[in-house]
Amino acid sequence: MLLTSILGSIIALALFLFVFMMLRAKVGLVFSTAYSGLGIAFIDGMAWLLNRDFPPGFLQECINLPWPFS
């Protein structure tokens, strides 16, 4: 929740997925990166299909970022 409020939901989710894959799933760096990328791609695809935006964080308030980061 703290990362979401600071960085925004997509960036926080990407960090969470990466750390979860490394620590809990005990997969390597390459697989963690690939699985996290696929997870974010799936979430972005569903958000695009449903025409949804993600909750912004403080970073998005300060910096103009493209969708889905905005």
- Per residue in 27-61, pLDDT (tens digit) is 999 999 999 999 999 999 999 999 988 888 898 88
Question: What's residue 34's pLDDT?
Answer: 96
Flag whether pLDDT at 20 surpasses 80.
yes
Q: How far is CA 66 from the centre of its chain?
A: 14
Question: What's residue 24's pLDDT?
Answer: 95
- Name which of 17, 19, 21, 4 is nearest 56 in CA terms: 4
pTM of the prediction?
0.82
Largest separation between any pair of C-alpha atoms in the chain: 35
Flag whether pLDDT at 68 surpasses 80.
no
At 69, the pLDDT band (50, 70, 90 cuts) reads: confident
